[in-house]
């Protein structure tokens, strides 16, 4: 059985996959372009893919009737046309649970980096500009007694909420069907944890940013297109909100150039799940899903279209 792994994964997961069949993995550590991807998957029984691989009907066709499972090494699966695969009886799986704490840690870390100006302070020292301690120097804002508004009360959103409560914050949640305007109006911090779907695309647009307090900050660790990045840059430049911390971008890996110029913005390159432990568990979970399906069992984390 041919198993295609679109980008390098930890050895422990490869060992599991090699026990099932012939594993193909690219030599070079880069994303495959769509044509390469289609060529590579021909005859595959399983595709282990990354969030930057667009897996749609054309990829399923290119793989052919041997394809049984597409295992995404990510919890988000907006890169996969799930109905196009499930209608061909191909399982689609993701990696929920194992990255909850890592992603919430990063989201909270971004919040602290932004509100306590950690990244900005680091840049100042590296610039070798003279500085000296005084009572008004580089003041940030405290989190205690502030309100954190979480959009997307799933596992990661709730884990972020737990961390915020430990810091003395008041936490409010808004799910899929609840109105978000009240949360946007009340929150000192808005943190996004909803999946990217047609409904959440540009959920935070110019209008939503206008509803937020001018002292509020936005944290995004879910998917870039949930935020209209150009509108966010406008809102920051117009002082409609006080700051933003982003781990994900609308046109990843590109970043809206105006955001790169702003000191009240903290940027990280999609590091939400980036710990050795978590990435290993994600890859192992994907391999377990492949093993289950190729040995005739049900997938552990099936995603329904
Ligand atoms: C996911 O799993 O969806 C994350 O974005 C990966 O870091």
Q: What's the CATH code of the domain at 46?
A: 3.40.50.720
Let me know if residue 303 belongs to a domain: no
The pairs formed by 83-92 with CB atoms below 8 angstroms and a separation of 24 or more are: 83/305, 84/56, 84/57, 84/60, 84/305, 85/55, 85/60, 85/305, 86/304, 86/305, 87/305, 88/60, 90/60, 91/289, 91/293, 91/299, 91/302, 92/302, 92/303, 92/305
What is the residue-level pLDDT of the chain in tens, covering all 305 positions? 999 999 999 999 999 999 999 999 999 999 999 999 999 999 999 999 999 999 999 999 999 999 999 999 999 999 999 999 999 999 999 999 999 999 999 999 999 999 999 999 999 999 999 999 999 999 999 999 999 999 999 999 999 999 999 999 999 999 877 779 999 999 999 999 999 999 999 999 999 999 999 999 999 999 999 999 999 999 999 999 999 999 999 999 999 999 999 999 999 999 999 999 999 999 999 999 999 999 999 999 999 86
Total domain count, the chain: 2
**Residue 48 sits in the same domain as residue 141:** no
Residue 73 shares a structural domain with residue 167: no
The answer to whether residues 302 and 92 touch, using CB atoms and an 8 Å cutoff, is: yes
- Residue 52 falls in the annotated catalytic set: no
Are residues 123 and 230 located together in one domain of the fold? yes
Strand partners, 22: 2
Statement to judge: residues 148 and 261 lie in one domain: yes
User: Do 18 and 128 belong together in one domain?
Assistant: no
Task: Determine whether 241 is exposed, middle or buried from the number of CB atoms within 10 Å of its CB (0-12, 13-18, 19+).
Answer: buried
CA 140 vs. chain centroid, Å, equals 26
d(CA 199, CA 215): 27
C-alpha dist (Å) from residue 233 to 86, 173, 230, 264: 39, 25, 5, 11
Same-domain pairing of 38 and 72: yes
Q: Is residue 126 part of a domain?
A: yes
Residues 255 and 119 both lie in one domain? yes
Determine the distance separating the centroid of ligand 1 and the alpha carbon of 250, expressed in angstroms: 14
Cβ of 100 below 6 Å from ligand 1: no
Structural domain including 175 reads 100-267
Closest ligand 1 atom to the C-alpha of 99? 2
Residue nearest to atom 1 of ligand 1 (CA): 74
| Cβ-based neighbours of 69, under 8 Å, separated by 6 or more | 45, 46, 47, 90, 91, 92, 93, 289, 290, 293, 294, 299
> Residue 239 Cα, ligand 1 centroid: separation in angstroms?
30
For residue 80, the SS3 value is strand
223 CA closest ligand 1 atom index: 5
Distance (angstroms) between ligand 1 centre and the Cα of 128 equals: 36
Query: What are the structure tokens assigned to 297, written together?
Result: 């069992």
Same domain, 76 and 143: no
Nearest to 195 by CA among 227, 160, 152, 232: 152
Q: Is residue 305 part of a domain?
A: no
**What contacts 118, CB < 8 A, 6 or more positions away?**
112, 266
Catalytic pick from 193, 223, 240, 279? Answer: 223
Q: Cβ of 290: how many Cβ atoms within 10 Å?
A: 30
24: Cα separation from own chain's centroid: 26
User: Active site residue: 52, 116, 186, 252, which one?
Assistant: 252
**In terms of domains, do 112 and 257 share one?**
yes
Rounded distance between C-alpha atoms, residue 288 and residue 290, angstroms: 5
């Amino acid at each position: 059985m041919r198993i295609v792994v679109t980008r390098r994964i930890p050895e422990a997961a490869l060992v599991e996959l090699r026990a099932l069949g012939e594993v193909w993995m690219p030599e070079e550590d880069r994303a495959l372009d769509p044509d390469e991807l289609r060529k590579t998957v021909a005859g595959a029984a399983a595709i282990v893919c990354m969030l930057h691989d667009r897996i749609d009907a054309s990829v399923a066709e290119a793989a052919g009737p041997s394809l049984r499972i597409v295992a995404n090494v990510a919890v988000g699966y907006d890169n996969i046309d799930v109905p196009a695969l499930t209608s061909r009886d191909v399982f689609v799986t993701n990696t929920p649970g194992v990255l909850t704490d890592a992603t919430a840690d990063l989201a909270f870390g971004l919040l602290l980096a932004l509100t306590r100006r950690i990244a900005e302070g680091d840049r100042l020292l590296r610039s070798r500009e003279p500085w000296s301690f005084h009572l008004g120097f580089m003041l940030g804002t405290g989190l205690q007694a502030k309100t954190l508004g979480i959009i997307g009360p799933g596992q990661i959103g709730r884990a972020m909420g737990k961390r915020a409560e430990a810091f003395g914050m008041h936490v409010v949640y808004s799910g899929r069907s609840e109105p978000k305007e009240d949360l946007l109006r009340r929150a000192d911090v808005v943190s996004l944890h909803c999946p990217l779907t047609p409904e959440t695309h540009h959920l935070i647009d110019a209008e939503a940013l206008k509803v937020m307090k001018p002292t509020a900050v936005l944290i995004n660790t879910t998917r870039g297109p949930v935020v209209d990045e150009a509108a966010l840059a406008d809102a920051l430049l117009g002082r409609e909100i006080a700051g933003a911390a982003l781990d994900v971008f609308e046109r990843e890996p590109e970043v809206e150039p105006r955001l790169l110029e702003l000191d009240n913005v903290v940027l990280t390159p999609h590091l939400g799940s980036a710990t050795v432990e978590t990435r290993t568990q994600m890859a192992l979970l994907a391999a377990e899903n492949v093993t289950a399906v190729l040995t005739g069992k049900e997938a552990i984390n099936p995603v329904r279209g």
